[in-house]
Amino acid sequence: MTNNATDSKGRGPEWWRQQAICHPLLAKHNRTPLWTPPVEQFYTRAKWLILQRHSFYVDEPTGEGKSAVASALVDRIQRDLGDIVTIVYCTQNKQGPSVRSFYKGFLDTVGSPSTSGETWDLQARARRRLVALASETTWRTILLVIDEAQALLVDDLEFAKDIQNQLERENIDLVVALFGESPMLELVSASAGQAKHHACFDRFTHRRIPIDGYNRESLACLLKLMDASIWPAGSDLTWSCFFFPRATARGFSFERQAGHVWHALQEAKLIRSHDNDTVVARRIFELMGYVAANAEHYDADCPDLDDQLWMDAALFCAGEQHV
């Protein structure tokens, strides 16, 4: 995983080791959005709804890339639309026994100095905080992105509805974007869709945006973007060059390996024939992480990697390869 030589820029083994530990292919927290066709398509749909102040939801199976597209949305929306207020809240999968646990978590997310008090006090404090954030902006709009939305309670949606109503009286729009796993988010929607909660269902789960899986063409696009990405920032090292400097010098690139990657995914039965021959995003990043972690054993003066490496990586992603 590390380069054991010191290069012409004086980067020695310890430098390579430290940078490899934090590389985006291995460290999830360092990943920035890669604007592949599935991500671009999602963002275009989401921005169109936000422009109209429509809330929406995303429910997909685990591994489909919900957190990645949510991150991409937050990353670009302010650059494209200006001073729209964007708040990201991650629902606790193990919530406290009181609805106030959601209120307190929400207040903490928006930077409230205090999260104590009764339900009415917490709600009023949340409203005042949101008004303060949005009132001086041109858009007077808040985009609330809720991740792990399958863990929401119906009462939490009622809270969002109440806040939305209160903000409208202050001439401020609240757009709620729910990101959650299916079928659990579907069950939350079904509960909210009961007669007395119909307004919540209509507001927050009326418009769904799908996330497209990766077909062979979009996989190649993703690998090409990895070839163009730099790590560490400010260096001259692309992701492919970082892990495979000898092979890269001979013409190697991740994009060049797209056919080998796709074949390995097929052999490991990770391509979903029922979903237009696509693979979920998580499996691709797991595969590339496996390859990166084993790079030092396979980097050679050759523009192609051993097919067995791709096969072992795909089997690892499928849970059939022992660690």
DSSP 232-270: STTSS-BHHHHH-HHHHHTT--TGGGHHHHHHHHHHTT-
Mean pLDDT lowest among 47-56, 202-211, 290-299: 202-211
By C-alpha distance, which of 216, 217, 194, 131 is closest to 167? 131
Let me know whether 70 and 159 are in one domain. yes
Q: What is the pLDDT of residues 87-121, one digit of tens each?
A: 999 887 766 556 567 777 778 888 777 777 777 77
3-class secondary structure, 274: helix
Let me know whether 86 and 48 are in one domain. yes
Query: Per the structure, how many domains does the chain have?
Result: 2
Instruction: Average the pLDDT over 61-84 and give the result.
Output: 93
What local confidence, expressed as pLDDT, does residue 97 receive?
Answer: 56
pTM of structure: 0.88
**Residue 2: pLDDT above 60?**
no
Let me know whether 163 and 81 are in one domain. yes
Q: Which residues does residue 173 pair with via DSSP β-bridges, in sequence order?
A: 141
Strands 56-60 and 173-181: parallel
CATH number at residue 111: 3.40.50.300
Let me know whether 263 and 290 are in one domain. yes
Structural tokens at position 26: 């291995």
First to last CA, the chain: 16
Residue 159 neighbours by CB distance under 10 Å: 22
Q: What is the pLDDT of residues 151-166, one digit of tens each?
A: 888 888 888 898 999 9
Let me know whether 183 and 43 are in one domain. yes
